[in-house]
Amino acid sequence: MIYTVTLNPALDKTVEIPSLTVDSVNRITAMRTDPGGKGINVSKVIKKLGGQSIAAGILGGATGRTICSALEAMEIKTGFRFVEGETRTNLKVIDPVNHTNTDLNEPGITVSEEILNGLLQELLLEVNQGDIVVLSGSLPKGSPKDTYAVWVKACKKAGAKVILDADGELLEEGLKASPYLIKPNNHELSALLGEKLETPKELEKAARGLMEQYAIEKIVVSMGGAGALYITQKETLYAEGLKVPVKSTVGAGDSVVAALAVSEEAQKSLEETVRLSTACGAANVMCSGTQAAEYETIAELLPKVIYRKL
């Protein structure tokens, strides 16, 4: 089973405003709402890929109930802990004329370490040997900075493979517990190492340094439209970015993580993983907001994926 953990979820409201202008009245031409937060986005895509997952995390108030109901309507199993307070609503502003995506994110619920530990213990009662746990996204206010390190260590002890998708200090701390797989983008990897990494060779060298230092099995480095690197202990594959019409880049990385989790569970080869992840990420930027692409769209892109050994 795949478990996704979203400790700071949100209701994502996506609006389109052609020629967005600061300090002026703007007219919304389209709008949609989706249950969001990185782990939740991963679960939505897993469902479209024909897989099963359990979405866990922390929710509060009417917004939290709306998110839970929406996921249940999608037939996604949930394991949320409800707490006092109101789950945040995040506004995603897409300007189709200027081709920009602007996020306005609320801070969300404040939680205690006791609440986090309670959710972790509930998760550990369910996780079995060979399961996959995806830890991704920001942390709610009140969370210790080593939260992901604690969760990685506990889930590994339970026999799970942990995929960590975080950045900044959260990634830096989480690495200390040696997750099975991480998925930084090129900017996050550069920031982590304190140097500007641009070429695939530079990114691969940096990633391999992390693999050796923290005993990580696999690293995927996404580079936006330029593609991605898929690095294992034995080899590296570079996948070119697919040229597709872009509606929203929000959630594209989560789509890649979903494909990685599904591929890991099915024990797909690295080549199959590269094809599915690349197609999945491209298909989802063709969608509005954090809506998950239909599998038919992903399947159409699979034969178009170009990759090579680095």
Q: Please write down the HEC assignment for all residues of the chain.
A: CEEEEECCCEEEEEEECCCCCCCCCCCCCEEEEEEECHHHHHHHHHHHCCCCEEEEEEEEHHHHHHHHHHHHHCCCEEEEEEECCCCEEEEEEEECCCCEEEEECCCCCECCHHHHHHHHHHHHHHCCCCCEEEEECCCCECCCCCHHHHHHHHHHHCCCEEEEECCHHHHHHHHCCCCCEECCEHHHHHHHHCCCCCCHHHHHHHHHHHHHHHCCCEEEEECHHHCEEEECCCCEEEECCCCCCCCCCCCHHHHHHHHHHHHHHCCCCHHHHHHHHHHHHHHHHCCCCCCCCCHHHHHHHHHHCCEEEC
Q: Which two tokens stand for residue 100?
A: 């920009």
Q: Average pLDDT of 62-82?
A: 96
Task: Give the pLDDT band (50/70/90) at residue 245.
Answer: confident
Task: Return the percentage of the chain with pLDDT > 90, whole number.
Answer: 88
**What pLDDT score does 20 carry?**
94
Q: Average pLDDT of 28-53?
A: 95
Is 198's pLDDT higher than 90? Answer: no
Summarised one tens digit per residue, pLDDT across range 25-40 is 999 999 989 999 999 9
**What pLDDT score does 246 carry?**
83
The region of weakest confidence among 89-98, 247-256, 268-277 is 247-256
- Give Cα separations from 301 to 1, 145, 177 (angstroms): 26, 39, 36
Task: Give the pLDDT band (50/70/90) at residue 289.
Answer: low
Show Cβ contacts of residue 188 under 8 Å, excluding neighbours closer than 6 positions: 167, 168, 171
**What pLDDT score does 263 carry?**
97
The region of weakest confidence among 119-123, 276-280, 293-297 is 293-297
Is 122's pLDDT higher than 70? Answer: yes
Catalytic member of 34, 131, 165, 254:
254
Is 290's pLDDT higher than 80? Answer: no
Instruction: Let me know: does 27 contact 17? Beta carbons within 8 Å.
Output: yes
Is 248's pLDDT higher than 80? Answer: no
Residue 272: count of CB within 10 angstroms of its CB: 14
Task: Return the percentage of the chain with pLDDT > 70, whole number.
Answer: 100
Helix axes 38-48, 61-73, angle to 10 degrees: 10
Summarised one tens digit per residue, pLDDT across range 208-229 is 999 999 999 999 999 988 999 9
Is 297's pLDDT higher than 70? Answer: yes
Q: Average pLDDT of 60-69?
A: 96
The region of weakest confidence among 166-180, 262-276, 279-293 is 279-293
User: Is residue 131 flagged as an active site residue?
Assistant: no
Q: Which two tokens stand for residue 198?
A: 């641009």
**What pLDDT score does 292 carry?**
87
Task: Give the pLDDT band (50/70/90) at residue 101.
Answer: confident
Summarised one tens digit per residue, pLDDT across range 153-171 is 999 999 999 999 999 999 9
